[in-house]
A = this chain, B = another copy of it.
Amino acid sequence: MFKGIDHIVIAVKDLDAAIKQYEGIYGVQATERGEPPGAGFTNAFFRFGGPSYVELVSPTNDSGPVGRRVASGGEGVYLVAMGVDDLQATLADLRSKGVRLIGDPGPDKPVAGQVFIHPSATGGVLTQLVQR
């Protein structure tokens, strides 16, 4: 079952500049700034006390997914992450409907990383599935 919007990820060219812009707009400080190993981007998070948050990502190279996105499509919303209450059940349902997935481990296998619905199935929106 889908529970709503968990977070959005915004791709930007200059993380420092974007953090400064967003700190001014949101009136809160960015937290948990980092660089996930091998991901090809640096990131920072904005939290608001509620269930949803905003993540900024900025590519560290042109060959990763975020780098390719910024090179081809510029800055903007990179993905929308939707919260689900049971990721395995959601994946089984989406498989049965033939929805194109990215990172799906397949039936009866544990999810080892991030799982997404391909933009071709969602009107162009890379959609991550997140179980908290």
Tell me the A residues contacting B by CB distance below 8 Å: 1-5, 7-8, 10-13, 18, 21-22, 24-28, 48-54, 56, 73-77, 80, 83, 93-94, 97, 99, 117, 119, 121-125, 127
A5/B75 contact (C-beta < 8 A), A21-B123, A93-B27, A121-B21 known: no
Inter-subunit contact B8/A123 (CB<8 Å): no
Main secondary structure of the interface of A (DSSP, over half): mixed
Inter-subunit contact A48/B3 (CB<8 Å): yes
Inter-subunit contact A53/B4 (CB<8 Å): yes
| 11 extra interface residue pairs, beta carbon distance < 8 Å, beyond A4-B52, A5-B53, A76-B124 | A3-B50, A4-B50, A5-B54, A24-B97, A25-B94, A25-B121, A52-B52, A73-B73, A76-B123, A76-B125, A77-B124
